[in-house]
């Protein structure tokens, strides 16, 4: 039995969370077209009779502009040092730039075995893949490059086999029926954040945190969920709510449907929008809203 941990790292929006979900076969991490979707490390666990691969999804590498961003980058840094292997996800569609190579070299230098997943091959000309791979090798990247499409689940079997071969022999780290280290409560908050990422322009979702006040399973099997959408500014609150509450109502409906799918039961969802000025630069509020990635 091969078993171990694989940190999934790379620039923001490269498709790390999409790839982890595709490999695990279940949605363990939210996905959106906006960079900085993932804020925390999230384990997604792939179980087979001969292997257990514990993927650790991480916040994408992005220029930080606040204390939350700093924390996210630190999370990725510390996670990368403490795993059996690294899977560097590259957005092939965006091309290969000097800073991509520099980033790969930086992680390669940690001395942890590394593979590159060259992602999004479904939306680019096939002939570019070998050209780009050559540029990476000429730039000093030593890791094997796997051309994949996380969205179309292309070439993932080969990548999985290559990752498993990098892991130590040993007992599984988690029971076989576990697919994530995160609670249902966490996922509920994340699904709300995902729908906000999808529904509003960038500056709004990046300043949003979700606080779940109530997450309760009732006797009849339904769930009661009561949550706060925290934003940074008064005018953001107005945009989030929309005319006569229309915007937040629509977003909450999308979120409720996603929560019902995830929990397999009916959900009664209540949402309030609140302002906590510039919380992303206030350590105590960052912590209060659940971002404590430095904790074990
Ligand atoms: N066409 C295509 N799009 C993809 C693929 N993989 C991911 N995407 C899209 O890329 C966007 C970003 O995906 P995520 O999985 O959220 O990316 P991420 O690397 O986790 O991003 P952060 O959490 O912000 O660092 C989403 O719109 C995905 O649907 C792929 O293989 N092909
Ligand atoms: Mg992500």
Tell the CATH topology of 184-288.
GMP Synthetase; Chain A, domain 3 (3.30.300)
Domain boundaries, the chain: 2-165, 184-288
pLDDT of 129 reads 95
Question: Ligand 1, closest atom to CA 89?
Answer: 19
Q: At a CB cut-off of 8 Å and minimum separation 6, what does 49 contact?
A: none
Protein residue whose Cα sits closest to atom 10 of ligand 1: 15
Span from the CA of 122 to the centroid of ligand 2 (angstroms): 19
Distance 27 CA to ligand 2 centre (A): 12
Which pLDDT score, from 0 to 100, does residue 243 have?
Answer: 97
The verdict on the CB of residue 58 being under 6 Å from ligand 1 is no
pLDDT given for residue 202 in this prediction: 85
pLDDT given at position 293: 59
**Is the whole model's pTM more than 0.95, yes or no?**
yes
Q: Which ligand is nearest to the CA of 72?
A: 1
Ligand 1 atom nearest the C-alpha of 154 is 31
| Cα three-residue angle 192-150-206, rounded to 5 degrees | 30
Asked, colleague to colleague, whether 2-165 and 184-288 share their fold, the answer is no
Q: Which-ligand-closest: CA of 37?
A: 1
pLDDT for res 295? 52
The verdict on the CB of residue 60 being under 6 Å from ligand 1 is yes
CA of 14 from ligand 2 middle (Å) equals 8
Measured in angstroms, how far is the CA atom of residue 129 from the centroid of ligand 2? 23
The Cα 15–Cα 94 span in angstroms is 12
Segments of the chain scoring below 50 in pLDDT: 296
Query: How much distance in Å is there from the Cα of 273 to the middle of ligand 2?
Result: 24
Q: Which CATH architecture has domain 2-165?
A: 3-Layer(aba) Sandwich (3.40)
Q: Out of 13, 123, 198, give the residue to mutate to test ligand 1, the one with the largest number of ligand atoms within 8 Å of its CB.
A: 13
21 CB within 6 A, ligand 1: no
pLDDT at residue 126, rounded to an integer: 92
Question: CB of 105 closer than 6 A to ligand 1?
Answer: no
| Ligand 2 geometric centre to CA of 218 (Å) | 32
């Amino acid at each position: 039995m091969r078993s171990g941990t694989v940190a999934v790292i790379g620039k923001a929006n490269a498709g790390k969370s999409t790839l982890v979900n595709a490999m695990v076969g279940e949605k363990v991490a939210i996905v959106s077209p906006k960079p900085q979707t993932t804020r925390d490390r999230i384990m997604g666990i792939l179980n087979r009779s001969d292997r257990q691969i514990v993927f650790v999804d991480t916040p994408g590498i992005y220029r930080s502009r606040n204390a939350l961003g700093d924390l996210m980058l630190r999370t990725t840094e510390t996670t990368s040092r403490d795993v059996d292997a690294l899977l560097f996800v590259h957005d092939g569609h965006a091309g290969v730039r000097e800073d991509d190579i520099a980033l790969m070299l930086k992680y390669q230098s940690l001395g942890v075995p590394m593979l590159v997943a060259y992602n999004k091959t479904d939306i680019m000309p096939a002939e570019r893949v070998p050209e780009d791979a050559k540029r990476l090798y000429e730039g000093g990247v030593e890791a094997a490059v796997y051309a994949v499409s996380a969205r179309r689940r292309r070439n993932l079997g080969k990548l999985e086999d290559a990752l498993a071969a990098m892991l130590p022999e040993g007992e599984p780290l988690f029971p076989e029926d576990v697919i994530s280290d995160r609670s249902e409560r966490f996922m509920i908050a994340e699904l709300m954040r995902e729908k906000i990422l999808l529904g509003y322009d960038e500056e709004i979702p990046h300043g949003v945190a979700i606080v779940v006040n109530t997450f309760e399973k009732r006797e009849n099997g339904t769930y009661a969920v009561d949550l706060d959408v925290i934003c940074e500014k008064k005018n953001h609150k107005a945009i989030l709510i929309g005319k006569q509450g229309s915007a937040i109502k629509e977003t909450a409906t999308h979120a409720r449907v996603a929560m019902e799918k995830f929990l397999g039961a009916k959900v009664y969802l209540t949402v309030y929008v609140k302002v906590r000025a510039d919380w992303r630069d206030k350590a105590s509020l960052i912590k209060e809203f659940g971002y404590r990635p430095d904790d074990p």
